[in-house]
Amino acid sequence: MYIVSACLLGANCKYNGGSNDNEAVKDFCEGHMIMTVCPETEGGLEAPRPPAEQQGEKVVDREGKDLTAEFRSGAEICLRKVLDSGEEPEIAILKANSPSCGSCFIYDGTFTGTLTEGDGVFTKLIKARGIKVLTEKDIVKTKVKELKK
């Protein structure tokens, strides 16, 4: 089973009310069992909403509202769904740079579009379970490598 950020498959759960619909991810997932997750939706956040970023141990939105509890509870709900599914997660394909779903690099909390090293709140839980995490950027690279073979 692949765990996939819902916004990458077209769900309009992104902070601005849109999606991050990604054809390469859809192609990559074709023929595989998938479980879509949106930790921020599960945490009770509606779309559209102000963008949020991690600031140290907290998550705050651009208006300064502390959303740490919502982000953590949403991440835990999504992890529970994965564990309760009874399926073996092979990999997770999660939205790059998101404060929930980002892997290796996330926005730095200054709301200036600046990246820093770090994982999203949900990604940390997934990695702690030993599940490999890719982003949509890795999928594009993977497909290019395949095309070069």
Where on the chain is the footprint of ligand SF4 (CB under 6 A)? Answer: 5-7, 13-14, 38-41, 95, 98, 100-101
For residue 40, the minimal CB distance to ligand SF4 (Å) is 4
For residue 38, the minimal CB distance to ligand SF4 (Å) is 3
For residue 14, the minimal CB distance to ligand SF4 (Å) is 5
Gap between the Cα atoms of 122 and 43, Å rounded = 11
DSSP class of residue 118 equals -
Tokens for 34, please give them. 């998938």
For residue 16, the minimal CB distance to ligand SF4 (Å) is 10
User: Which C-beta is closer to ligand SF4: that of 25 or that of 38?
Assistant: 38
DSSP class of residue 113 equals S
User: Which C-beta is closer to ligand SF4: that of 95 or that of 119?
Assistant: 95
Gap between the Cα atoms of 69 and 47, Å rounded = 17
User: Which C-beta is closer to ligand SF4: that of 128 or that of 144?
Assistant: 128
Give the side-chain half-sphere CA count within 13 A for 104: 9
Strands 115-117 and 105-107: antiparallel
* Residue of this chain nearest to ligand SF4 (CB atom): 7
Place of tokens 């073979």: 149
Gap between the Cα atoms of 24 and 101, Å rounded = 18
User: Which C-beta is closer to ligand SF4: that of 77 or that of 128?
Assistant: 77
